[in-house]
Amino acid sequence: MVIVGNGPLSRDLSEHVDSADFVIRFNDPKAGIGLSGVKTDRLLMANTGPPMRRRLKTPELITSPIFQAARELVFPYHPLIVRRYFIKVSFLSRLKGKRAEYTLKGIEVFGGAGKEIRIMPPQFYEQGCRALGLPEAKMREFFPSTGFFGIWHALEHHPADEWRIEICGFTWEGWQQHTWADERRWVLEQVDHGRVIILE
């Protein structure tokens, strides 16, 4: 299995990725385009906030090779979780069409493009936060990234004695309210335990 992040790659991994048994990607991949192949078994797409709003208005996403190749589209943030923990959208912003989450609109647009969509249950988010060590008191302030949830879920459901799990394209940088330092520490712990291999 290869889990491809959205950061830059130092070399062309296209053949390696496309020959993998299972490939996971995230959101709308950009930095690794042309270097990571197109095979995509699972595409996790954050169904929240301005990035999702932008994706829904980007026709080029639907026609992109990676989106076209995706066998399954996963929305990691259940609407109940967004309501419980995520930043609220002001009344004025709602009048302008902005939302905290775009689950139903995502189903309409991406389901309409022929994609099978899976919405993860509320327990998925809370269990992932616990695995990362994020205390509940901080769960309305910091939000683990889609990349973290993709790696964590893969490890939870693919036994170490049956799967070799490799990752690439992760820089642990970006939106300041993601838990980058904790996520990097967690991944390196999995590397130390032999559960994850980082492709250089």
How many helices (H) and strands (E) the chain has is answered by 11, 7
Name the nearest CA neighbour of 46 among 170, 113, 143, 134.
143
Question: Looking at residue 101, what DSSP letter applies?
Answer: B
Q: What is the pLDDT of residues 108-165, one digit of tens each?
A: 999 999 999 999 999 999 999 999 999 999 989 999 999 999 999 999 999 989 999 9
pLDDT value of position 184? 97
